[in-house]
Structure 1
Amino acid sequence: MRRRSNRVAVESSSVVAATRWLKLTVAYDGAAYAGWQWQPTEPTVQGVLQDAWRTITQEEPRLTASGRTDAGVHAEGQVVGVETASTIEPRRLLRGLNALLPDDVVIRAVDPAPAGFHATHDSLRKTYRYQLHTGPTPPLFDRRHVWHWRAGPLDAERMGQGGACFVGRHDFVSLESVGSERSSTVRTITDLTVTTRPVDGGERIDITVTGDGFLYNMVRTIAGTLVEVGRGSKPPEWVAEVLAARNRAKAGQTAPPQGLFLVRVEYS
Structure 2
Amino acid sequence: MPRYALKIEYDGRPFVGWQRQPDLPGVQAAVERAIAKLDPVGPEITGAGRTDAGVHATEQVAHVDLSRDWDPYRLGQAINAHLRPHPVAVVAVGPVSDDFHARFSAMERRYLFRLVSRGSPLVHDRGFAWRVRHELDVEAMREGAAFLIGKHDFTAFRSSLCQAKSPVKTLDEIRIVESDYAGGVEFRFYLRARSFLHNQVRSIVGTLERVGSGAWEPERVGAALASRDRAQCGPVSPPDGLYLTGVDYPENPFAASNGAWPGEGGV
TM over 0.5: yes
Q: CA deviation at 1:116?
A: 2.5
* Letter of the 2:80 counterpart: N
| Counterpart among 116, 129, 134 of residue 117 in structure 2 | 134
> Residue by residue, what CA displacement relative to the aligned partner does 1:190-220 show, whole Å, maximum 9, x if unpaired?
1110111111201111111001111110000
SS at match of 1:32: coil
Residue of structure 2 equivalent to 1:13? none
Q: CA RMSD in A?
A: 1.1
Greater shift in the superposed pair: 242-251 or 58-67:
58-67
What's the CA shift for 1:59?
2.4
Determine which of 70, 75, 91 is the counterpart of 1:88: 70
Distance of 2:106 and 2:12 partners within structure 1:
22
Answer yes or no: is 1:55 the counterpart of 2:28.
Answer: no
Counting only pairs closer than 5 Å after superposition, residues 179-258 of structure 1 correspond to structure 2 as: 179-258=161-240
Alignment of 1:155-194 (within 5 A): 155-194=137-176
Q: Amino acid of the residue matched to residue 219 of structure 1?
A: V
Secondary structure of residue in 1 paired with 2:13: helix
Query: 104, 122, 131: which is aligned to 1:148?
Result: 131
Q: Which amino acid aligns with 1:242?
A: A
For 1:5, the equivalent position in structure 2 comes to none
Q: Using the alignment, how far apart are the partners of 1:245 and 1:207 within structure 2? A: 24
Please report how far the alpha carbon of residue 40 of structure 1 lies from its aligned counterpart in structure 2 after TM superposition: 2.3
Contact 1:29-1:73 within 8 A present in 2 as well: yes
Between the aligned partners of 2:100 and 2:65, the Cα distance in structure 1 is 8
Does 2:51 match 1:69?
yes
TM-score, length-scaled by structure 1: 0.90
Structure 1 runs of 4+ aligned residues shifted over 3 Å read none
Of residues 81, 94, 102 in structure 2, which corresponds to 1:119?
Answer: 102
Structure 2 unmatched ranges of 5 or more = 251-267
Task: Pick the aligned partner of 2:22 from 35, 40, 44.
Answer: 40
TM-score normalised over the length of structure 2: 0.91
Distance 1:103 1:63 in 2: 17
Give the Å deviation of 1:122.
Answer: 1.1
How many angstroms does 1:86 deviate by? 2.0
Which one of 95, 109, 114 corresponds to residue 92 of structure 2? 109
Check whether the contact 1:36–1:70 (CA below 8 A) recurs between aligned residues: yes
Once the two structures are superposed, what CA deviation does each residue of 1:122-157 show, in whole Å capped at 9, x if it has no partner?
11110111111111101100011011112x101112
Secondary structure of 1:31's match?
A: coil
- CA offsets, 1:37-78, max 9 Å, x none? 112212111111011100012221121101111110000100
Identity %: 37
Whole-Å separation in 2 of the counterparts to 1:200 and 1:104 = 26
User: Which residue is 2:3 aligned to?
Assistant: 21
2:258 alignment counterpart: none
Name the stretch that deviates more: 197-206 or 112-121.
Answer: 112-121
